[in-house]
Chains A and B, each alone.
Chain A
Amino acid sequence: MGLRPAPLPGKTPKPMIFYLFSLLTAVLASASALAEGPCPTVRFVKDEISLGETERHLVCGDPELPTYREIPRNQAEFHMRAFLQARGYQDPTFKVEKGVLVVDPGEKMRVRSFRVEGAPPELHPERLRHVVGEVLTPSLLDEAGDRVLKRLRAEGYPCPNVQAEAAWKTRELVVKANPGTRYKLVGVDEDVMPDVQHGVLARYHAFEMPEWYNADWLTVTRQRITTDALVQSNYFTARCPDNTNEIRVRHEVIAGPPRLVTFGIGVDTERGPGVRASWKNSRLGRWGSLLDVTGQVNYRLQEVGSYSNLYWDTSRWYWRPSVTLRRTDEPKVEAWSGDIGSMIGWSHDWHTWGIRAAAGPKLNVVRSIRGPGRKSTDFLSLAVDFRITDHAWELYRASPQEGFDLRVLADASQEDALSPFSGVLVKINFQKLWNLFYYDPPLFVIGIRGGLNTTLTSQIERVPTTYLHYIGGSENVRGFERRKLPENGALTTMFAGLEVRLADGLPLGFQPLVFVDAAKLGLRSIQVDGPLYWSPGFGIRWQSPIGVIRGTLARGFIEGDRGAYASEPGYRLYFSFGEEF
């Protein structure tokens, strides 16, 4: 630093000002290289590393505590070694210069190889990402161990034992796993809830018994109960018995008060700002029935409704009476509508998926103010709601990455049976997500979605406006305006989409995605004709602390004869909040 270079032979020496400048630069550079330390007795040779208060006391001394006012240098070095290790500096060097402990933390070390010893083959540790390449710290060891533990508990091993260790010279991280016995779940011992019949929690089970223990499906069960607000908190505990491979788990609950009143103001991505209020009794009667009254008001929708899931025993059968009154103001339709329903529902879960089904009569009232269809329709229909959901879909609901969901909604009306028309409204929607290469966390998520919405009727002029279908917008083809196609509604719409999302790889949790959507329309039942509406696009997803924010830009194209459905394609920019795919 600051050495004066000898002039090269045959070259004119540079002026003195150059050397002065060089010297000054070198001095400043070296001064900045010798970063200040946490106290006068300790100094870092490179970047300043911020120490916490306790850390500083143990390295520099605690001026407020005489016994700890001065820390011997060897002890300061010892503690500093631990503090640096926690930050990924595994091979620091220390020296003393003029009474100051000079710390060279060295380089942060990153894991080069990762393996799991003793794990069953189904664990696939090679799929665990964010271990190799990560900074080697004790926290990383904890995290790697926790992740192996989590996977083992989802593979039938409720009481595994894992231990992670690392060698920094070779940058290897090894998790030594002892999975223990693989257990079959044979029973659940449920907590007693006040005023509720024992056994009602079983209707939320996302598993069958006996079946291999899977802690993920226990989590899905917990999520279902929490979502329904049956209790304030619930959890499962497992104690592994000896000399058997059968296990019973304990389902413990904190019941909390059964009634919940909420009031909120917020933003609906489709309908703008609004207010919402609800009252819910989640433990109505001894069988844990549900009664919900909700009202919401926003620009596009004003709705008040109530429904109840009334159980008559601990089984999964229930009666669902409901009443709803709403006003909608969509681009093509403005209408008042209401319905009173009475459905019988049932659900069942197998090992990895479950079904929900409900069916029953519904008395509908529709008063159309604007848009196609009859202006006034009162009719009775038979409503069917059928849904098949993969447990993985439910498990990763907050961060979709795999699983499938298929839902069929049908409303059938028959002329002369308290209905002015005959028709069946069918809505079939599905989504399927793949975690490409099964990485954990996922690297790429591929999703397909599709839907068939059709009204089976020969009396199009009689059907209410709610029986007509539209496409456009983020829910099907993102290159077109929301629900702008066709002009007067269609009897059949069909759409499909493919999306590939880089789920992990960019900083700050940003996830870029590309997609292509396509849809077709038909003026007749179960028949599509006319052009193909399709839109490639790209976007970005961000998991914000309060929900998922997505922005997409898509270009709409129309392939084929536009016919009566002609519309000007263009670029469409959508922002959505909370929506997935």
Chain B
Amino acid sequence: MKRALKIFLKVSGALLLVLVGVATWIWFNPSIVVNERVAAWALKKYLGPELVYRELGVKAIATGMWAKRIFVTAQGACYTVDPARKICVESLDLDALIDLYPKRISATVNHLYADGGRVDWIEPDTTNAPPETEPKKKEPFSLPSLPTRLVGIPIVWGEVRVALDAANVEVSGFKIVGQAKLDAPPGKRMELVADARASQKGEKYEARLTTSFDPAKRAAGTLSAAYLPKASQKFAIDGCPFQFDWSDPKATTLAIECPLVARGVVPDKTDKTLRELLESFGIKFKAAVRWEDFPDGKVTGKVTVAAGALPKRLADKAPLVNVNFDVDFGAQKEWEIHPSLTAQVPDFKRLVTFLKPTPWAIPVPLHVLDGKIEFATDPGVVWGASGGKATGKLVTTLASLRQKFETETTAVFEMAGGKTSLTLDAYLNKIQLVLPRIEKRPPPSFFPDSRIRANFEREPASKGMDLLVRVHTPGESPILLVSDVTKTPIPVYVNLAVQGAATTGSIRLGQVTAQFFHREAKLTRFEIQLAERADLNQIRAEIQIPYTDYTIRILLMGLLKEPQVKLLSDPPLAEDQILAVLLFGKRPETLDRSEAESAGSLRSAVSDGAVSLASMYLLASTPVESIGYDPVSRVFMAKIRLADGTSLNVGSDAKSLNQVGIRHRLGSNWAIMTYLSNPLDPVSRALTAFLEWSRGY
């Protein structure tokens, strides 16, 4: 029994010694168990066939009693999660030291080099996937960083270099390709250089990030990014310094400042000068954003865009137009912004010079003005996801030797319920403009006649913004129009509202004196009331013409297109007497037949509302030879005498007149008359032409 026990003990002791010896041998020769074969077996067992590699090298050596060093190299290693998701590395080199001393067991990665990395990752589309029933537990924000423990063993990282040569990632149809290099030298901040390019539905994105960061606290570096919605368009920021700080667990902040480049934004058909202006804008972009509970929590911040147009062909360096756009914003469930915009044309004359060769040249007489134009939004503008309201003011301070153009325009831009509206209230504080010289003959059509179009189909009205423009003149400061027609400027008071195609309101002229009907006439009243329908526009006007014995008053009233003319006098004269005096400066009994017919025709025409304001003005300001009127067709024709002695027909073509008889006036009381010489006898009738003198009494 004892012997058996002894034998057993000896054998057991021997076995134990062998075991200890083997263990000791293994302890000091760990490559016996930590080698390629064991590693291959373990990888296959735990990671399955999804992990493949071309070569695998695993070597472990004991560098001390407790210290073991492991070298792992791999070539052509790939891990395939599924056919759409695969991560490969061409070359992996790991050098790690494991301290197995029980009280300080740890691992130190001396270096980790991964080169030739490649990621092909197509994330399944989860757009139609049922929502997760339990929300994910939120973690404080931090950047992905190297693990600090592995199966409970703390890890100390040495040099880490990861080179991702190609990444092909697709998430929800969004394709990203790029490469990145991560360099984490021991004891220093991590360095990451990443390039990525993405595209979706023809739109392209490019980004380059160079940053050094502390995964637990902050990142700083430069960011370049570009958005290319079309092949010809590009919005880009280049080398913008930024700071991204998440060290405060309660708030994450981002600060970035950089120039913004916009290319291809101006449509191809744009005039080259305007393109030059628009493309000459130098834009600076600055943003400071703060997230609470990043990235889903409340976000606040400020974005500033400052731009100045500096076209190349303007010799000096002062910007032509300055624009500054600030946005204070905040968002939690719904975003809200507080934008402010200022814009300035500091030197209007330079703008005139710049725009002169373009289709947007400032028209005469405004093109001689100088001064500045400024716009600024009011403080307190709030804009949210459901819309908002912004107000601002445009101020022009322009003047030239004989002109002024000082205005204040308040703008209200509102968006609510899917509708946008812009209301402009323009106050014409001090306006004085010079009118062109007006010939005393029918003026030409200054504007193309809108009745003649390329096609009958009208352009559909845009369903965009509701635009309302109101124009006012302060009571004490009318628009002053400098004209050669009057000795003093013509004061004009306007109170207009333009909405869509309709213009309503009133235009009123102050008292003015002008030469009318060869006299110094006084325009005591002139007011046009504009209705929503242009054909219902109304006029009210009164002209007083003083004569030696009486004063004639011409009243115009009713529809603007067909004004009713009333002729009054003090002391009272009959209407035909007034017309005789106005047109020919005579009493009716002293008119010759042609003059009387002309006076009658004018009376007929004005009674019928067939004399336009322009014709009335011409009749009043030029010597009249004759007037004809056909009430059937309402054709009105006047023959006026020009300064050079020639005559000119005003109004309709004379051939349209249904002439009563054949009578050709030669001068006062003289005419060529053609009539039947023997009207009672049709057989012997004959037409006679007489040079005839006649006089009524």
B-binding residues in A (CB < 8 A): 52-55, 57-58, 62, 64-68, 70-75, 78-79, 81-83, 85-86, 90-91, 96, 136, 138-139, 141-143, 146-147, 149-150, 153-154, 163-170, 172, 174, 215-216, 218-219, 222-223, 226-227, 232-237, 252, 254-271, 274, 276, 296, 385, 395, 398, 407, 409, 427, 429, 451, 453, 475-476, 545-548, 576-579
Closest chain A CB from B577 CB (angstroms): 9
B683 and A427 form a contact (CB under 8 A): yes
A196 to chain B, nearest CB (A): 14
> In the bound complex, what is the Cα–Cα distance between A285 and B680 (angstroms)?
25
* Cα(A299)–Cα(B659), bound, Å: 31
Contact A138 B449 (CB under 8 A): yes
Given A237-B607, A260-B694, A260-B696, CB of A54 within 8 Å of CB of B452:
no
User: When the two chains form their complex, are residues B686 and A579 in contact, meaning their CB atoms are under 8 A apart?
Assistant: yes
Cβ of A498 to closest chain B Cβ, rounded Å:
18
**B-chain residues with CB within 8 Å of residue A54 when the two chains form the complex:** 436-439, 441, 443-444
> Which of B103-111, B198-206, B414-422, B631-639 touches A?
B631-639
Determine the residue in chain A with the shortest Cβ distance to B363.
A75
Query: Would you call B693 an interface residue if the criterion is a C-beta within 8 Å of the partner chain's C-beta atoms?
Result: yes
**A385 cross-chain contacts in B, Cβ below 8 A:** 680
A252–B567 Cα distance when bound, in Å, is 15
B692 within 8 A of A: yes
4 other contacts beyond A75-B361, A90-B452, A165-B453, with CB at 8 A cut-off?
A52-B441, A54-B443, A226-B661, A264-B692
> Are the CB atoms of A395 and B452 closer together than 8 Å?
no
Given contacts A67-B403, A141-B451, A227-B660, contact A576 B593 (CB under 8 A): no
Q: Which residues of B contact A (CB under 8 A)?
A: 356-365, 367-368, 400-403, 434, 436-439, 441, 443-449, 451-456, 576, 579, 588-589, 591, 593, 596-597, 599-601, 603-604, 607-608, 629-635, 652-653, 656, 658-662, 664, 672-677, 680-697
Per the bound structure, the CA–CA distance linking A195 and B688 in Å amounts to 34
Which of A91, A138, A172 interacts with B445 by CB under 8 Å? A138
Instruction: State in angstroms the CA–CA spacing of A382 and B437 once bound together.
Output: 71
Q: Tell me which of B400, B439, B631 contacts A53 (CB under 8 A).
A: B439
Contacts of B400 in A (CB 8 A): 67
Contact present for B689 and A546 (CB under 8 Å): yes
- Residues on A with beta carbons closer than 8 Å to the beta carbon of B446: 58, 79, 82
Whether A218 pairs with B632 at a CB distance below 8 angstroms is yes
CB-defined contacts of A142 to chain B, threshold 8 Å: 652
For the complex of A and B, list the 9 residue pairs with the smallest distance between their C-beta atoms, beginning with the closest. A233-B600, A578-B687, A264-B690, A266-B690, A235-B604, A264-B692, A72-B361, A150-B633, A257-B696
Assess the A276–B453 pair: CB atoms within 8 A.
no
- Is A259 a contact partner of B357 (Cβ separation < 8 A)? no
Bound CA span A577–B658, Å: 20
Other-chain residue from B445, B596, B652 in contact with A256 (beta carbon distance below 8 A): B596
Give A99's nearest chain B residue, CB to CB: B357
**When the two chains form the complex, which single residue of B455, B599, B652, B680 contacts A146, counting CB atoms closer than 8 Å?**
B652
Q: Which residues of B contact A57 (CB under 8 A)?
A: 436-437
- CB-based contact A269/B452 at 8 Å: no
Q: Give the A-B pair count, Cβ closer than 8 A.
A: 298
Contact A67 B683 (CB under 8 A): no
Question: Dominant SS at the B interface?
Answer: loop
C-alpha gap A163/B441 in the complex (Å): 26
Which of B358, B675, B690 is A265 in contact with, Cβ under 8 Å?
B690
Chain A residues within an 8 Å CB radius of B689: 266-267, 546-547, 577-578
Closest to A226 in B: B660
Which residue from A62, A146, A165, A453 sits with its C-beta under 8 Å from B683?
A453
Q: Collect the chain B residues with CB atoms within 8 Å of residue A255's CB.
A: 576
> A143 contacts B653, CB within 8 Å?
yes
Known: A52-B444, A232-B696. A138 touches B674 (CB 8 A): no
Q: Which residues from chain B contact A136 at a C-beta distance below 8 Å? A: 452
Given known pairs A67-B364, A147-B633, the reply for A83 and B444 (CB within 8 Å) is yes
Q: Residues of A contacting B358 with CB < 8 Å?
A: 74
B359 proximity list for chain A (CB < 8 A) = 74
**Complex: how many Å from CA A130 to CA B364?**
39
Residue contacts A-B, CB under 8 angstroms, 11 given: A58-B446, A67-B403, A68-B364, A74-B361, A74-B363, A150-B632, A168-B454, A169-B455, A263-B694, A451-B682, A578-B662
A58-B436 contact, Cβ under 8 Å, with A165-B456, A168-B453: yes
Q: Cβ of B676: which chain A residues have Cβ within 8 Å of it?
A: 578
Q: Which residues of B contact A141 (CB under 8 A)?
A: 449, 451-452
A165 / chain B contacts, CB cutoff of 8 Å: 451-453, 456
- Nearest-neighbour CB distance to chain A for B56, whole angstroms, equals 76
Which of B443, B661, B690, B696 meets A398, CB within 8 Å? B661
- Could you tell me the distance between the alpha carbons of A150 and B630 in the complex, rounded to whole angstroms? 10
Given the known A-B contacts A65-B437, A475-B684, A578-B688, are A235 and B600 also in contact in the complex, defined by CB atoms under 8 Å? yes
Q: CB-CB < 8 A to A262: which residues of B?
A: 692-695
User: Are A577 and B687 closer than 8 Å at their CB atoms?
Assistant: yes
Q: How far is the CA of A304 from the CA of B695 in the complex (A)?
A: 20
Residue of A nearest to B607 (CB): A237
- Given known A72-B364, A146-B656, A168-B452, contact A67–B434 (CB-CB < 8 A): yes
A357–B72 CA distance with the chains assembled, in angstroms: 138
- Complex Cα–Cα for A43 and B673 (A): 47
User: Taking CB as reference atom, which chain B residue is nearest A395?
Assistant: B658
CA distance A578 to B676 in the complex (A): 8
Of A147, A167, A222, A263, which one neighbours B692 at CB under 8 angstroms? A263
User: A82 and B449: CB pair below 8 A?
Assistant: yes
CA distance A71 to B697 in the complex (A): 55
Residues from chain A with Cβ under 8 Å of B691 in the complex: 264-266
Report how far A81 CA is from B446 CA in the complex, Å.
Answer: 9
Whole-angstrom CA separation of A267 from B401 in the bound complex: 65
B603 touches A252 (CB 8 A): yes
- Which B residues lie within 8 Å of A276 (CB)? 688, 690, 692
Min CB distance A414 to B, Å, is: 23
